[in-house]
Structure 1
Amino acid sequence: MKLHYRSIWISDTHLGTKGCKAEYLRDFLDNSESDYLYLVGDIIDCWKFRSGFYWPALHNDIVQRIIKKAKAGTRVVYIPGNHDEMFRKHAGMHFNGIDIQLNAVHKTQDGRRFLVLHGDEFDSIVCHNKSLAYIGGEAYEVLLYINRWFNAIRARLGYKYWSLSAYLKHKVKNIVAFMDNYQHILSLEAQKRKVDGIICGHIHHADISDMEFGKTYANCGDWVESCTALVENAAGQLSIVHWLEDSQRLLDAAPEPQTATGGYAQAA
């Protein structure tokens, strides 16, 4: 039985890179369905194409599954990020059943309004120094490469997956300070836009937490390390799915699907 959610948000899949955990993403898409599916940026990593084209059949499978969901009735909204910013010039277009927008406002079943965007707009490095951001992206790719080998050794020894970059994010004070400041800026934007919260991606760290002014911050994470998605159930509650850890438990406990109403709003 498939998992049914009212809404699903995924971001930072980075299709087109060797770091993308496409096999797990395909498994998640095959075992879940929703009324609304938001692709919250960095879905295709166009930056990586500068250093060579990499597009295995598995990555094409992901695109085809998303198109199939759109044609089957799922409302699919694609909000490009900084790694796939070339698609931003197509905002407002409808392609293969997929709406391309710069951002959107989603209304949950319980009546809350969330501004949905990638989040790079509020990252000072990306906004003001794209060369540095690109170098950082390349360094992150190297870190992922090292992490793959490290975890291959751990797996042979019977240990679970461990994220080196996630460990560093929580240990390096400057990165922790950046994340805190990132949420602060987003809380100001939520207050300005008169919404109840913000749903974003970009920083590869899934989280649901309270921000200033009583706003809610929700980040859907990524599919190069954590393999996480943000989901909304039929009652409008938000939660994070950690597919690597939770998939079997969730599928075993999957209830019969329910039909929900309301939801998607116009672009913000």
Structure 2
Amino acid sequence: MSKIHHKTVWLSDIHLGYKDCKAEYLLDFLKHNKIDVLYLVGDIVDMWSMSKRFHWPKAHNDLFHTLLSLPNQGTKVIYLPGNHDAPIQKYDGMNFGDIEIYRTYTHTTAQGKKLLVLHGDQFDQQVCFGALHSWMGDVLYDFLLFLNRWYNWCRIKTGRPYWSLASHIKSKIKGANQAISRYRNACCESAKSQGFDGVVCGHIHHPEIVEQEGVLYLNDGDWIENCSALVESSSGELSLVYWAEISQSNNLVDIRSKKSKEQKVA
């Protein structure tokens, strides 16, 4: 299969070092896509999780080194650290090898739209419902990921493709939808007040493209639940790609299924 070309790609919330990171799917995405400019929009390495429990399997290591090697393959890489990789924020405006590090960045599309790019944790105080609600949200999200993990383990065992149960359940929860709406509003208000045409962010693991009061809201999603990326074509068109669905529909190798079979044979 020939590589798919993108002028720009935005990825966020990969969470390397966390047990639910879908590193295999992202490795497959990078294998089959050619990228001129790549934005890593925060929470690339989950330093929070690794401070509690070290988890770094081979797929995570392979993905980490693949991302580092992209500049050598002609891809410009810009890294905007988030809250889970917050120690990197102090290097704002500096370079790590050939990778540029910024807290926020301005991207202009091929159609001339000026976009504010940032992880999105900057708006936590505006979105948070308080310490108790925040703690309950973290606990419930961990439980959703637990359900998602075992549900998809069963699907793979029965030969069915990956499907995000966690995202489906979240879409039915009123409180989750309220938090998403408040976050979207905060992002759009910030972009509008600074004269941007739109905003690109991650942080809440909810991929979405919405125009709100004349401001384009672009959330690139995550690689914990959705395996999603925001992409820009050569003509400047913006769209979301859900790689787990694309890889399966195009009969690409289902790495996670293959891995399960190899372990079973062994």
Per the TM superposition, whether the score is higher than 0.5 is: yes
Q: Larger relative contact order (C-alpha < 8 A, sep ≥ 6)?
A: 1
Give the counterpart letter for 1:183 in structure 2: R
> Which residue of structure 2 lines up, in the alignment, with residue 246 of structure 1?
246
Task: Give 1:152's aligned residue.
Answer: 153
The alpha-carbon deviation at position 126 of structure 1 amounts to 8.0
Question: Matched residue of 1:143: which SS?
Answer: helix
1:99-248 aligned within 5 A: 99-124=100-125, 136-137=137-138, 139-212=140-213, 214-247=214-247
Equivalent AA in structure 2 for residue 163 of structure 1: S
Which one-letter code corresponds to 1:65 in the other structure? Answer: T
Measured on the aligned residues, the alpha-carbon RMSD in Å equals 2.4
Contact 1:2/1:251, CA 8 A, preserved across alignment: no
- How much does 1:182 deviate? 1.4
> TM-score of the superposition, structure 2-length normalised?
0.86
- The list of structure 1 runs, each at least 4 consecutive aligned residues, that deviate by more than 6 angstroms after superposition, is 125-132
Separation in 2, partners of 1:132, 1:16: 26
SS at match of 1:171: coil
Identity %: 44
**Using a 3 Å threshold, how does the CA distance of structure 1 residues 91 and 20 change in structure 2: closer, same or farther?**
same
Aligned to 1:39: 40
Shift of 1:162: 3.3
Cα distance in 1 between the residues matched to 2:195 and 2:43: 26
Structure 1 spans left out of the alignment, 5+ residues: 253-268
| Number of aligned positions between the proteins | 251
Shift of 1:159: 4.4
Q: CA deviation at 1:205?
A: 1.0
2:12–2:203 Cα contact (<8 Å) kept:
yes
CA-CA distance at 1:239 after TM superposition: 0.5
Distance 1:126 1:180, change over 3 A: closer
Which is further off, 173-182 or 233-242? 173-182
Structure 2 segments unaligned to the other structure (5+ residues) = 253-266
**1:50 CA drift (Å):** 2.3
Bigger mean CA offset, 157-166 vs 96-105: 157-166
Shift in CA distance, 131/38, structure 1 to aligned 2, threshold 3 Å: farther
Q: Using the alignment, how far apart are the partners of 1:11 and 1:228 within structure 2?
A: 9
Kept in 1: contact 2:161–2:248 (CA 8 A): no
138 and 56 in structure 1: CA distance in 2 versus 1, 3 angstrom threshold: farther
CA contact 2:37–2:77 (8 Å) conserved in 1: yes
Normalization by structure 1: what TM-score? 0.86
Cα gap change, 1:159 to 1:64, in 2 (>3 Å):
closer
Distance 1:137-1:55 versus aligned 2 partners, 3 A rule? farther
Per the TM alignment, residue 61 of structure 1 is displaced from its structure 2 partner at its CA by 1.2
Evaluate the alpha carbon distance shift between residue 41 and residue 133 of structure 1 in structure 2; reply closer, same or farther with a 3 A threshold. Answer: farther
**1:142: how far off?**
3.9
The CA deviation string for residues 164-205 of structure 1, in whole angstroms up to 9 with x for no partner, is 321222111111111112111112111111010000001111
Counterpart of 1:41, as a letter, is G
